[in-house]
Structure 1
Amino acid sequence: MTKHSSKRTAVDVAIIGAGPAGAVAAALLRKAGRSVLVLERQHFPRFSIGESLLPQSMAYLEEAGMLQAVVEAGFQHKNGAYFVYRDQTSSFDFRDKHSSGWGTTYQVERALFDDILIRCAAQQGADVRFGHTVRAVHTGHMPLVDVIDEANHAYQIEARFVLDASGFGRVLPRLLNLETPTRMPTRAALFTHVRDGIPVDASDRNKICIATHPQRRDVWFWMIPLAGGRSSVGCVAEASFLDVPEAERDAALRALIQQEPTLNRLIGSAPFLMPVRHIGGYSANVERLHGPGYALLGNAGEFLDPVFSSGVTIALRSAHLAAHTLNRQLDGATVDWSADYDAPLRKGIDTFRAFVERWYTGELQDIIYYPDQAPSIRRMISAVLAGYAWDESNPYVADPVRRLTALHEVCMQR
């Protein structure tokens, strides 16, 4: 991994951000013989949230030549999710699903996971520059990217195309004024890691736990078992509910955990391994995911909500779609970014959105806890929860709003 060379560098593709979307896009483009430069403001490894992967992600990691490195890293195995509300529980095994493909994945510490992916991309020939900040992007047929490094050396990148994989940094939406209002309410999260000490038979470490606050169905918790006896734990709610001074965050999250019986039993007094962090206003959207000489990947384009851990899966799906579209364009084909990238990516995002919106209204919770679930419908729901939000052979992907509404009506007739 290099620092920088001349005042102006010419490459096929400049990628802003070295997270999962940027790393996978870089690897896929390198496999096609493209010259790729990745610009990352931070230094890796660095902490990031979004630790519970979905099985759909595994196909993209495999395609990018990264699967072996991820498998050998020793991350916590994951095969599903279980939901808790008061005395009700509902468990989904992602191996039992409507869609074909991977049914297992990992729960990861993102500092290590992201570092593994970008190092794989570098090993495949991507030029990765840490500590380099994008200050401006001049879009068009041959975009120019203005960059400055930590020694205050400024230089330009001349690229045939720019991919923004900057995640919550949202570099191009910010620089090019691409933001548009999101339909998702403003929510926030308090989270930390704990030394969980959970007895082997007390909880299924191979599944993420999603627990609903017993008094407020719009407030929920995650518990993500990680390798080495750690767990990530957090609470998500409307921003005002979690608006506490920084000095009081530890006590606030501890009190919230102790209000939920299952989490209180498992980790109610477990030591926090880092100060409680806060993230807010993370839901975001743009009018379109591409423009002259650029495309937006993953969270740089749109982020919904953490409840179904869809962020990394959407990021990797976007990297896959963008890399394949861009490779055809660079080979001289005429491509339609709206039809070939934007519309197909948003199809899955819209599926997740239908599920997220109905989680917060309580409709999806009614469905998840319904006692007499038909096995075939349960497998369809499981497939979406496993990340297969683009498989239109699944009725809950092909027409999620109508199908979920009808299913909820059935559940309420009981």
Structure 2
Amino acid sequence: MIQPDPQNPVNYLPPVEDSYDVVVIGGGPAGATTAALVAEHGYSVLLLERAALPRFHVGESLIPETYWPLKRLGMVDRMKASAFPRKYSVQFVSNGVKESAPFYFEMYNDHESSVTWQVERGVFDQMLLDRATELGAVVHTSGHATDVVFEGDVAVGVKCRLLNEDGGRTEREIRSRVVVDASGQTAFIGNRRGQRDRDPHLKKGTIWTYWKNAYRDPGKDGGATLVMQTSDNKSWFWFIPLPDNVVSIGCVGNMEHMFGKENGDAETVYQRELQLCPALEKRLVDAERCTDFFTTKDFSYYSSETAGNGWLSVGDAFGFIDPVYSSGVYLALKGGEFAADAIHDALQRGDLTAPRLGQWQPLYKQGIENFRKLVYAFYAEDFSFGTFLREYPEYKSNMVDILVGDVFKPGVSDIFKVMGNIMPSGDEPSTDEPVQQPAMA
């Protein structure tokens, strides 16, 4: 697993002009996709990423529908040639011990898109930024956006602090016709405008770390994502195989359960929950933890306004649900694709109003809601997927569609008409502290 080296950062430091058609804040999958496809349309694009490369980020597991935006980006052959483990399936573990049969994606789709990848995000994100550069975007890392410039209610550019070749910083104001907020959980515009709301039903927190030499199943099952509930069903672990025999293993639970004042530090809580998941403990008998622990608190949120005159949000700046179905990277890539096409249309028409720039967002929000409602069902104490499918077998295809990411498919949401008002159990009100950003120890 690549860890950032602060003594030897890798930076893109190209010359930066005074104005661009589009400025993108953030170089994750959403920002890189937007920048790449807008540049491919022939517009001038500046992408500002505040970190040097490679930059550490959690969220390593891809779902099958990720194939299609990667194909449009010209990335599929590069993914096939990479060292990323192939992901053929997902497997669930209930009550800490009971392992389900693997859910093989190819059983429902014989296309090559049924095989996806477990990615090391430092490498994957850099691949996407490299592709954006190839397609004509100007990518500047260690470029810190400090403010969005508005004239009235219209975004007309950004203020930023750019790293120079000599190590100094230059304050700049860059004009643009469109500003794209792809700043991730920082939600650069949404936070400043007071537009980010926590999901009241998903007040969860996560503790995660990385292990070397954890046991993986043989053959193609070795790349599977495992979703492993603890014996008391108060938390669950993800198990995501990565290159170099490293596995990402994180624990998710209600905020009070994970971060209550009497719980102790992150390592204490992680070890407490690990003892409640014997199926995972078995996989770690010969393993060694290779990083410190990281935390993210109360991470499920959505933005009440995601497009304005001259600006729009994509990726985690738009909203984030929950990691249980590994939807994050797919929604970032797909949202970047939608946003790029809307920007192209808006620039062609000379109409940079909120309705034009945000024309894709109602469909996108419906897709997010399909994921969100299935997440609610996962956490609902009185709901059983097995019982539901035995009673309504005709909706199995809808559930499969959502699990693989085909959430924009017409009719896929019909499952929720019979599923009912599924809500997870409550949690104590969260504080107003900001979402914590992980830092490599």
Task: Settle same-fold status: TM greater than 0.5.
Answer: yes
Question: Relative to 1, partners in 2 of residues 1:307 and 1:407: Cα closer, same or farther, differing over 3 Å?
Answer: closer
Per-residue CA deviation, residues 191-229 of structure 1 (Å, 9 max, x unaligned), is 1111134265499223200011111x2411110111221
Taking the aligned partners of 2:391 and 2:240, their CA distance within structure 1 comes to: 26
Question: Relative to 1, partners in 2 of residues 1:80 and 1:203: Cα closer, same or farther, differing over 3 Å?
Answer: closer
Q: Which secondary structure does the structure 2 equivalent of 1:95 belong to? A: helix
For residue 407 of structure 1, report the CA deviation from its aligned partner: 11
In structure 2, the residue matched to 1:228 is 244
Q: Does 1:189 align with 2:206?
A: yes
Per-residue CA deviation, residues 46-65 of structure 1 (Å, 9 max, x unaligned), is 11010101111110011112
For residue 379 of structure 1, report the CA deviation from its aligned partner: 3.5
Taking the aligned partners of 1:318 and 1:195, their CA distance within structure 2 comes to: 33
Q: TM-score normalized by structure 1?
A: 0.89
Q: How does 1:251-330 map to 2 (within 5 A)?
A: 251-268=268-285, 270-330=287-347
Taking the aligned partners of 1:175 and 1:315, their CA distance within structure 2 comes to: 21
Question: Relative to 1, partners in 2 of residues 1:337 and 1:98: Cα closer, same or farther, differing over 3 Å?
Answer: farther
Q: Given residue 211 of structure 1, which amino acid in structure 2 is its aligned partner? A: M
Q: Which secondary structure does the structure 2 equivalent of 1:204 belong to? A: helix
Q: Does 1:112 align with 2:114?
A: no
Q: Which secondary structure does the structure 2 equivalent of 1:259 belong to? A: coil
Taking the aligned partners of 2:238 and 2:323, their CA distance within structure 1 comes to: 9
Instruction: Decide whether the 8 Å contact of 1:283 with 1:305 is kept in 2.
Output: yes
Question: Relative to 1, partners in 2 of residues 1:2 and 1:231: Cα closer, same or farther, differing over 3 Å?
Answer: closer
Question: Relative to 1, partners in 2 of residues 1:211 and 1:19: Cα closer, same or farther, differing over 3 Å?
Answer: same
In structure 2, the residue matched to 1:57 is 66
Instruction: Decide whether the 8 Å contact of 2:342 with 2:357 is kept in 1.
Output: no
In structure 1, the residue matched to 2:137 is 126
In structure 1, the residue matched to 2:75 is 66
Equivalent position to 1:3, from 7, 10, 13: 13
Q: How does 1:7-406 map to 2 (within 5 A)?
A: 9-86=18-95, 87=98, 89-97=100-108, 102-139=113-150, 140-141=153-154, 143-150=156-163, 151-198=168-215, 200-201=217-218, 204-215=221-232, 217-243=233-259, 248-268=265-285, 270-332=287-349, 336-337=355-356, 340-362=359-381, 366-368=384-386, 377-393=395-411, 397-405=412-420
Question: Relative to 1, partners in 2 of residues 1:206 and 1:165: Cα closer, same or farther, differing over 3 Å?
Answer: same
Question: Relative to 1, partners in 2 of residues 1:202 and 1:11: Cα closer, same or farther, differing over 3 Å?
Answer: closer
Instruction: Decide whether the 8 Å contact of 2:93 with 2:226 is kept in 1.
Output: yes
Q: TM-score normalized by structure 2?
A: 0.84
Q: Given residue 31 of structure 1, which amino acid in structure 2 is its aligned partner? A: E
Identical aligned pairs, as a percentage?
25
For residue 346 of structure 1, report the CA deviation from its aligned partner: 0.1
Taking the aligned partners of 2:296 and 2:302, their CA distance within structure 1 comes to: 17
Taking the aligned partners of 2:182 and 2:275, their CA distance within structure 1 comes to: 37
Instruction: Decide whether the 8 Å contact of 1:55 with 1:104 is kept in 2.
Output: yes
Q: Given residue 143 of structure 1, which amino acid in structure 2 is its aligned partner? A: V
For residue 99 of structure 1, report the CA deviation from its aligned partner: 11
Q: Which secondary structure does the structure 1 equivalent of 2:247 belong to? A: strand
Question: Relative to 1, partners in 2 of residues 1:77 and 1:100: Cα closer, same or farther, differing over 3 Å?
Answer: closer
Structure 2 portions without partners, runs of 5+: 1-10, 424-441
Q: Quick check: 336-345 or 302-311, which moved more?
A: 336-345
Instruction: Decide whether the 8 Å contact of 1:367 with 1:407 is kept in 2.
Output: no
Q: Given residue 154 of structure 1, which amino acid in structure 2 is its aligned partner? A: E
Taking the aligned partners of 2:312 and 2:401, their CA distance within structure 1 comes to: 28
Question: Relative to 1, partners in 2 of residues 1:138 and 1:407: Cα closer, same or farther, differing over 3 Å?
Answer: closer
Per-residue CA deviation, residues 295-341 of structure 1 (Å, 9 max, x unaligned), is 10011011011111111111111101111111011111658348722
Q: Which secondary structure does the structure 1 equivalent of 2:316 belong to? A: helix
Structure 1 portions without partners, runs of 5+: 409-414
Q: Which secondary structure does the structure 1 equivalent of 2:303 belong to? A: coil
Taking the aligned partners of 1:398 and 1:99, their CA distance within structure 2 comes to: 23
Taking the aligned partners of 2:56 and 2:281, their CA distance within structure 1 comes to: 26
Taking the aligned partners of 1:293 and 1:339, their CA distance within structure 2 comes to: 10
Instruction: Decide whether the 8 Å contact of 2:36 with 2:137 is kept in 1.
Output: yes
Taking the aligned partners of 1:211 and 1:2, their CA distance within structure 2 comes to: 40
Taking the aligned partners of 1:257 and 1:202, their CA distance within structure 2 comes to: 26
